[in-house]
């Protein structure tokens, strides 16, 4: 019953926020104008709706991948955009921009996914060497690991006079989303949705290698599938709108504490909550300094830091 009420609340909240998102912006727009003003309709179809869809997809996909990554490393305080995966994707985009500036978007996506996957594997290898009795070492190492990769990316970009591009890739912003410039995110949505098919296997992986093997699970195969899904979603998000922090960290923790750890049951709720969080943050960014905008990455950086501290100091409370 609690999960159903939570799902209903999230769906209604998303619908209300989506309606607000369509009509909030520098250009004032009234609902009735859409039906008799061709320019107003064009604004909605070319800018406002694509931006709303982009925020919903990015939020949902990142939240789902955050939940998966937490299962893979068996720690609730990590997420792709602060554990090296997002920075690895930015590194791939930087490399292809420097050496293959005329490459197709498919090549850029492939290389960004590859570097994100390598970064994720590197983080996983480091985590396995950490003592299990010190769980808070994992998020600290994640922040350091991601910071080192990000510093390397910034240094190379500085040498190549490309710092302005790095700011775009490492700070999520939906202000440039238009029709024809966000469609790659639908691939991320499909990848995130496909993870639901093996949600139970990710939950078993969260028990550890020994328990997974004893239950007959192909542990290494599921790990690779999970890391690949996380890498693809992270790469596509960074390519399209930039890195969006904390979504994959705070949303899975909130849903887990409220609705339990049944991954098959909570994964849809995680996606809905992530979509709602990013959409509401984007709306706040448009309103706070109207008619100027604050990037959603900045809004979520401030909000996420506060929620992260709350998660650290509050006890686990959830329903089974």
DSSP track, 61-75: HHHHHHHHHHHHHT-
- For the chain, the farthest-separated pair of C-alpha atoms sits apart, in whole angstroms, at 65
Determine the straight-line distance between the first and last CA of the chain, rounded to whole angstroms: 12
Separation between Cα atoms, residue 121 and residue 310, nearest integer Å:
29
**Tokens describing residue 221:** 């195969």
pTM confidence score: 0.86
- Is residue 116, in this structure, part of any structural domain at all? yes
Contact 246, 75 (CB under 8 A): no
Mean pLDDT of the 67-84 span:
84
Q: What are the pLDDT digits (tens) for 85-122?
A: 888 888 888 888 888 877 777 887 888 888 888 888 88
Answer with the residue of higher pLDDT: 60 or 205. 60
Averaged pLDDT score across all residues of the chain: 84
**Tokens describing residue 130:** 């950490």
- Reported confidence tier of residue 279, pLDDT bands at 50, 70, 90: very high
- Is residue 319, in this structure, part of any structural domain at all? no
The reported pLDDT for the residue numbered 2 is: 67
Separation between Cα atoms, residue 15 and residue 24, nearest integer Å:
14
- Is residue 213, in this structure, part of any structural domain at all? yes
- What CATH number does the domain containing 229 carry? 1.10.3470.10
Give the count of domains, the chain.
1
Q: Which of 129-138, 146-155, 237-246 has the lowest mean pLDDT?
A: 129-138
**Does residue 317 surpass a pLDDT of 70?**
no
Residue range(s) defining the domain that contains residue 286? 2-313
Tokens 């390397």 -> residue: 152
Distances (CA, A) of 279 to 30, 58, 63, 206: 20, 9, 13, 29
- Is residue 318, in this structure, part of any structural domain at all? no
Is the four-CA dihedral 261, 262, 263, 266 of positive or negative sign? negative
- Is residue 99, in this structure, part of any structural domain at all? yes
Tokens 């019953």 -> residue: 1
The reported pLDDT for the residue numbered 190 is: 93
- The helix (run of H) or strand (run of E) holding residue 267 is helix 263-287
The reported pLDDT for the residue numbered 320 is: 43
Quick one: which of 96, 110, 70, 61 has its CA closest to 234? Answer: 61
Answer with the residue of higher pLDDT: 53 or 27. 53
Contact 149, 87 (CB under 8 A): yes
Separation between Cα atoms, residue 19 and residue 43, nearest integer Å:
14
Question: DSSP of 68-118, one letter per residue?
Answer: HHHHHHT-TT--GGGTTHHHHHHHHHHHHHHH-TT--HHHHHHHHHHHHHH
- The helix (run of H) or strand (run of E) holding residue 238 is helix 219-240
The reported pLDDT for the residue numbered 86 is: 82
- Phi and psi of 300, rounded to 5°? -70, -25
Angle, CA of 28, 32 and 33, to the nearest 5°: 55
């Amino acid at each position: 019953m609690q999960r159903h009420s939570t799902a209903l609340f999230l769906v209604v909240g998303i619908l209300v926020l989506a309606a607000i998102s369509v009509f909030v912006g520098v250009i004032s727009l009234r609902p009735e104008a859409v039906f008799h003003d061709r320019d107003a309709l064009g604004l909605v179809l070319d800018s406002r709706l694509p931006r709303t869809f982009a925020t919903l997809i990015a939020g949902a996909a990142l939240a789902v991948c955050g939940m998966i990554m937490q299962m893979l490393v068996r720690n609730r305080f990590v997420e792709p955009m602060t554990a090296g995966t997002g920075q690895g994707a930015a590194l791939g985009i930087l490399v292809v921009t420097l050496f293959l500036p005329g490459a197709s978007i498919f090549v850029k996506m492939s290389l960004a996914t590859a570097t994100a996957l390598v970064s994720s594997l590197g983080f996983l290898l480091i985590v396995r060497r950490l003592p299990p009795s010190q769980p808070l070492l994992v998020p600290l190492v994640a922040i350091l690991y991601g910071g080192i990769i990000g510093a390397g990316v910034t240094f190379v970009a500085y040498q190549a006079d490309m710092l302005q591009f790095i700011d775009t890739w490492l700070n999520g912003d939906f202000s440039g989303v238009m029709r024809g410039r966000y469609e790659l995110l639908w691939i991320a949505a499909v990848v995130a949705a496909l993870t639901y098919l093996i949600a139970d296997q990710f939950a078993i992986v969260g028990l550890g290698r020994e328990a997974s093997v004893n239950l007959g699970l192909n542990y290494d195969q599921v790990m690779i599938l999970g890391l690949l899904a996380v890498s693809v979603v992270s790469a596509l998000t960074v390519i399209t709108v930039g890195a969006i922090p904390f979504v994959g960290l705070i949303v899975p923790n909130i849903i887990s504490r409220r609705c339990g750890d049944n991954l098959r049951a909570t994964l849809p709720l995680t996606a809905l909550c992530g979509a709602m969080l990013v959409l509401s943050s984007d709306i706040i960014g448009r309103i706070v300094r109207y008619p100027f905008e604050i990037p959603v990455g900045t809004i979520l950086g401030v909000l996420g830091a506060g929620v992260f501290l709350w998660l650290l100091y509050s006890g686990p409370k959830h329903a089974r």
